[in-house]
């Protein structure tokens, strides 16, 4: 019988640390892996691989295997910098195929309640990039949450004096949504930002 100290229980314990995984799910995943030793080995190797290879790009701080990352070293418009909170947001923007500039990953957002101030995230590095010259526009693509908006406000304040053009992702009604069910604030933004057809 497996005791609490056994390797399987240790694996269950590690799986339980993952977001959204409880005791039952962890046990189910562990037994699933136990039944397919190939997958178990592959997962273990993939984890080691990620730990060894994945790092942050020294220019934009996006996660990458090669430094500078494929975007920074690629054929992109380095004069336009899109500022995002994390690499997941970067991936979402990349999926849209609508951005041809480069990025800057803040690795967080200003959140005084959580003790995250401007110095805790990579704002100084962004300022240094802008002050080094060659950047004509900074698009702020932080989330439309309290923290994201606070970060956008702070960024505008510190970037404006450098003379760079600072823009923000448009507010509006998401594609495919019913105006009836869109919140009032979003409708207000959509009306204020209406475009001529």
Separation in Å, CA 189 to CA 4, 69, 120, 149, 174? 55, 35, 30, 14, 12
Taking only Cα atoms into account, the Rg of the chain, rounded to an integer number of angstroms, comes to 22
Q: Which is nearer to its own copies, 13 or 133 (CB)?
A: 13
Least Cβ distance, residue 123 to its own copies (angstroms):
19
Kindly identify the residues of this chain, within the stretch 8-47, that bind its own copies according to CB under 8 A. 8, 10-11, 13-15, 17-20, 24-25, 27-34, 36-37, 39-44, 46-47
Cβ neighbours of residue 153 under 8 Å, at least 6 residues apart? none
User: What's the CA gap between 19 and 138, in Å, rounded?
Assistant: 33
191 binds its own copies (CB under 8 A): no
User: What's the CA gap between 140 and 89, in Å, rounded?
Assistant: 12
User: What's the CA gap between 147 and 57, in Å, rounded?
Assistant: 24
7 binds its own copies (CB under 8 A): yes
Kindly identify the residues of this chain, within the stretch 94-153, that bind its own copies according to CB under 8 A. 94
Kindly identify the residues of this chain, within the stretch 42-101, that bind its own copies according to CB under 8 A. 42-44, 46-54, 62-65, 69-71, 74, 86-88, 90-91, 94
Binding site for its own copies (CB under 8 A): 1-3, 6-8, 10-11, 13-15, 17-20, 24-25, 27-34, 36-37, 39-44, 46-54, 62-65, 69-71, 74, 86-88, 90-91, 94, 181
């Amino acid at each position: 019988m497996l005791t609490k100290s056994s390797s399987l229980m240790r694996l269950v314990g590690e799986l339980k640390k993952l977001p959204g995984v409880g005791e039952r799910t962890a046990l189910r995943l562990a037994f699933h892996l136990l039944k397919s030793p190939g997958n178990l080995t592959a997962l273990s190797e993939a984890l080691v691989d990620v730990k060894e290879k994945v790092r942050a790009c020294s220019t934009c701080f996006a996660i990458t295997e090669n430094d500078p990352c494929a975007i920074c070293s690629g054929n992109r418009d380095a004069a336009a910098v899109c500022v995002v909170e994390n690499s997941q947001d970067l991936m979402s923007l990349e999926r849209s195929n609508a951005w041809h500039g480069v990025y800057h990953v803040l690795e967080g957002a200003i959140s005084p309640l959580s003790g995250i101030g401007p110095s805790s995230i990579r704002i100084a590095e962004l300022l240094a990039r802008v002050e080094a010259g060659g950047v004509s526009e900074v698009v702020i693509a932080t989330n439309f949450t309290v923290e994201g908006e606070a970060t956008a406000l702070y960024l505008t304040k510190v970037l404006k004096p450098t003379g760079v053009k600072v823009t923000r992702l448009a507010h509006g009604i998401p594609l495919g949504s019913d105006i009836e069910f869109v919140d009032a604030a979003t409708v207000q933004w959509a009306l204020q930002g209406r475009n001529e057809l």
